[in-house]
Structure 1
Amino acid sequence: MATISLKASVDKKSNRVVFVESDEFFVDILFSFLTMPMGTIIHLISNLSPTNRIGCMNNLYKSVENIDVRYFRTEACKDMLLHPHNAAAAYSKSLKLKIDDIDTSSFFCCESSQCIASGYKLLSQYKNVYCGCGRPMSRNLNLSCPAPSNSGSDERNQGVFVQELARFVVSDYFQVMPASTSASISLLTKLGVMDTSNIEERIFDIGVTEVLELLECSLVSRTPLTEVLLARKEVPELRNEDSLQRTSLMREIPEHQSEINGETSVRLVVCKSKKVSNDIKEILLNPKIAPGSGYKNQPLGVKEAVDNQQYYYDWHTSKPIRTESICPRGSTLPLLTMMDPKSPYKEGTEGDGFLLDPAMFTVSDDLVVTPISPVSELSLVLEKLKISFNDIYICEVQVGREEASRLLAASFVSESALTDTFLRKMPKDALISDVLKE
């Protein structure tokens, strides 16, 4: 089983990892966290330990599992939410430790070879989307993703996001810097470590399990390396109203976000390797959702990756081929149309949203989603919360980008996401930088 070796500087007095020194393999994995869909993260963490929770996200994921498929526009819509594709899959598959188990190399077409060759000519990345002829697109075709252009033939120089062979320093809170004496001293100073005799070096070999634990801790802890490498305690639970993580995230989102052309500006610390291409920087700094996963009027305005690939049907092998493939025997091949998996229509290009309209749902404070049943549902909720009818009132709220951003942040770190989003207000002058100084 593959492992990655980390050299950690540990403060014995506080039993805390100050930083680790690593090669590009570990940094590539950390950077890949930025590209992963949330559904994939919850799926992986749940497999690691069913009791592990990320705010309300586990409830949201479980709700999708429990909602009957008849409420979705297509059967594929449910699969897209539970097992979303990664727009950066072509890069992530080259990581030394592979943690994303979603297969993006499979394509599906109509059961009828005649239909795909001269009929509707549709191709799908999800199974059982219905072709225009009425048949399910269940015929499995495997097309391997093209390797990233920055991959080299030298095994030592096959970085994914960080191409050149280099060493990096990674702080306990995942700040990544090129390895240097000044970087090490800076991190020691920030933590107030004045006596270096308390610092000892330890070697840790981590595998897939430890990487998944780091992924989870990166969402709920300010000290993920310490939590995982030193096993200081169980993964923190964010149920305390005064939780540091909860407060810092919720303060950061609403009043201090800047919007340029409808996009939210996010501050990230990224290693500036001179050999990192602009395309890779774009993937990390402005991650997009996979093609076919977007929908109109999405409040957060997350963009959908553009699939510039074209696929043709090869008469001779009865399989689709990519544009970069050599056209066999100089044949003229029929062009295939990529089916929008959310579309129930035969054209395959009009899908919008995941759920059928006008279906209605009840969403609890901890983001449990169920098909609406006004009387029985309200009675059950009030009984569960021990609240009388006299103590409730109804109000209407608007959900725009600000509210959607607050709800997203709250869903990570709170078990009362709706209350935190619509009823609680954080001080306007509170910034995450203020919390970090404490």
Structure 2
Amino acid sequence: MSKDGGPTVAVKLFIDKEKRKVLFAESDKDFVDILFSFLTLPLGTIVRLFDKQSQVGCLDELYKSVESLGEDHFRTKACKGMLLNPLNASATHCNRLKVKVANTNPMYRCKNASCGVSAFSSVPDAICSCGYVVKYIRERTNTNFHSIFSDIIKIGVFVIGVPKFIITDDLEVAPASTRVMFSLIEKYGIPEKENVQEKVLQLNSAKMTSLLRRALLTKQVLTGLYFDAAIPPNATDMCLLPENMLAKQALEADPNFKAINVRLVHAKDDTVLYAEVGQDFVDLIFGLLSVPLGSVLKTFSELPQIGCVDSIYKSVTASVKQECQSLLLSPMLGPFFGCSSNVMQVEELACRPLMIGSTSCFELNPKSGSDRAYIKGGPMNFMVTDDLRIGPFCLINALEIVCASKVPKDKLVEKELTLNKTQVLKLVGAAFGTSKALSSLLMPSKK
């Protein structure tokens, strides 16, 4: 237990005292299960965990934009809450972790005591078919799932049943073995015994959350955690996108994709000032907040970011049970969390009846209809800045941005663009990996 009384997990660090560097770590299933659970976290949850100071690309500004946008721009009030508190489709598994970094499996029921509708919701402010708003009841559990594993103490949530795992400083995970030992010797040599210090850390929820942040922004995660090294500011402040950033499956034809039109204002041969866009663009970009981290890593073979969460992703095959691998390699969206343009083709978890007492209940659609969009359709246009701060288009705000840029009139360029699927996917990757998403995609000549 930690000092605050919360549960902890142990990890043993092997430290090169002379170089002040963690060589590797050793742990059991509890710590490694939490590392793999990071892949199930929606991006909006990650931003919320760090109080909108995650420094991950443009995600902080994107999250703030949802907060600031008036409820009248969303299809329902619940749509705004869905983006600010996205559901983890693997929450039932994550609730079994010894230490939790996020609790995202609430259940809501109709406020009307006389309502005869047998329904529940996973998000607040959903409207029951009787017309009443739902209210929070409790954290949702799956009693059948727990009963299956209640007597199996030693089984991991995600990982295979081995006694120990080895974790490198940049979070590569593998079952402990002679092969792994020799790979470490090849990487570090055989250190002098007197230079190696063993240190067991007990990590609570706050420490695991800090570890997640380092995994997103740094390469030496365990070293930084142990020595409390500062994370460089603006770690993802870059513009250029990798040449071959898209995974092969992401480039497959999608007959449901519709090209997106934008009107761009930028300085000639320089950065983007803003873009004027429609509802389709906003819905797609806002929907990114509900996408799990593992789905981002599946879509992009290379991202313009300096963290090492991809090391966790690449470790899944060797360390995770076969039946759990798809939960981490292709994590799903929660029910009804798909947006109108699912350009990343992330599957949505199917709705299933839930037994509440002796009653079989169905899940309400928070969007109140068959339309998958979060944002209302219509003639309203929106303004998007380079860092993906989004708001309703306003002439005064547009003039302020142009004036603040101090770009001479003869250096300003306005043009209309039509973004195809590849460009939109690269924009999504830029939103995760850089703080200048529009410039990184639409101004490729910038060095």
- Asked if TM exceeds 0.5, the reply is yes
Within the candidate set 185, 200, 204, 1:207 is matched to: 204
Aligned residue in 2 for 1:270: 315
The AA in structure 1 aligned to 2:353 is Q
Q: State the shift of 1:251 in Å.
A: 4.4
TM-score by length of 1: 0.79
C-alpha distance after superposition, 1:16-39 (max 9, x if no partner): 222111100011000000101001
CA distance in 2, matches of 1:34, 1:379: 41
Residues 122 and 336, structure 1, Cα contact 8 Å, conserved in 2? yes
Matches within 5 A, 1:355-374: 355-358=375-378, 359-373=380-394
Deviations 1:64-96 (CA, angstroms, capped at 9, x unpaired)? 111111111111101100001100000001111
The answer to whether the 8 Å contact 2:47/2:54 transfers is no
Contact 2:81 2:124 in 1 (8 A): no
Q: CA deviation at 1:15?
A: 2.1
Aligned to 2:444, which of 424, 431, 435?
424
The alpha carbon displacement at 1:108 in A equals 1.9
User: Which residue of 2 is the match for residue 292 of structure 1?
Assistant: 336
Instruction: Please state whether the residue corresponding to 2:27 is helix, strand or coil.
Output: strand
Amino acid in structure 2 at the alignment position of 1:92: C
**In the aligned structure 2, how far is the partner of 1:209 from the partner of 1:114?**
41
Q: Does 1:29 align with 2:4?
A: no
The one-letter code of the counterpart of 1:74 is T
Aligned length: 386
Q: Which of 9, 13, 16 does residue 21 from structure 2 map onto?
A: 16
SS of the residue 1:393 aligns to: strand
Task: Specify the alignment match of 2:415 in structure 1.
Answer: 395
- CA shift, 1:256, in A, is 6.4
Matches within 5 A, 1:133-152: 133-138=130-135, 140=137, 143-146=140-143, 147=145, 151-152=149-150
Question: How far apart are residue 258 of structure 1 and its match?
Answer: 5.5
Tell me by how many angstroms 1:363 deviates: 0.8
Judged with a 3 Å threshold, the aligned counterparts in structure 2 of structure 1 residues 59 and 9 are, in CA distance, closer, same or farther, namely same
Q: TM-score, normalised by structure 2?
A: 0.77
Structure 1 counterpart SS, 2:417 = coil
Q: Are the counterparts in 2 of residues 217 and 235 from structure 1 also a CA contact under 8 Å?
A: no
* 1:345-385 deviation digits (Å, cap 9, x = unpaired): xxxx4132111112321110011111111x21211112332
- On the 8 A contact 1:367/1:417 being kept in 2, the answer is yes
Aligned to 1:232: 229
Read off the aligned partner of 1:93 and give its amino acid letter. N
What is the CA distance between 1:409 and its match in structure 2? 2.6
Please name the residue that 1:404 is paired with: 424
* Distance change in 2, residues 1:286/1:169 (3 Å): same
Code of the aligned partner of 1:153? D
The 1:188/1:65 distance shift into structure 2, 3 A limit, reads farther
- Cα deviation for residue 236 of structure 1 reads 5.1
* Structure 1 match to 2:161: 164
Change (3 A) 1:302 1:264: same
Unaligned runs of 5+ in 1: 313-319, 322-326, 328-332, 344-348, 428-438
Q: Give ranges in structure 2 of 5+ residues lacking alignment.
A: 1-5, 255-297, 302-309
CA RMSD of aligned residues (A): 3.0
- Quote the Cα distance in structure 1 between the aligned partners of 2:155 and 2:114: 39
For the Cα contact (< 8 Å) 1:35–1:283, is it kept in 2?
A: yes
Partners of 2:249 and 2:442 lie apart in 1 by 17
Moved more, 265-274 or 400-409: 265-274
Q: Is the 8 A contact 2:42 2:87 kept in 1?
A: yes
Deviations 1:382-420 (A, max 9, x none): 233222333221223333442233223322332211111
In the alignment, the residues of structure 2 paired with residue 8 and residue 393 of structure 1 have an alpha-carbon distance, to the nearest angstrom, of 55
Give the conservation status (yes or no) of the 8 Å contact 1:289–1:304: yes
- How far residue 255 of structure 1 moved from its aligned partner, in angstroms, is 7.9
Q: Indicate which of 322, 329, 341 corresponds to 2:366.
A: 341
Matched, 1:379 2:399: yes
Distance 1:206 1:127 in 2: 31
Partners of 1:299 and 1:271 lie apart in 2 by: 24
- CA–CA distance in structure 2, aligned partners of residues 179 and 295 of structure 1: 42
Structure 1: which 4+ aligned runs deviate by more than 6 Å?
A: none
**Which whole-Å deviations, capped at 9, do the CAs of 1:183-202 have from their partners, x for residues lacking one?**
13313423x54544544322
1:67 corresponding residue in structure 2: 69
Q: Is the 8 A contact 1:172 1:225 kept in 2?
A: yes
Q: How big is the shift at 1:214?
A: 1.3
Taking only the aligned residue pairs, the percentage that are identical comes to 27
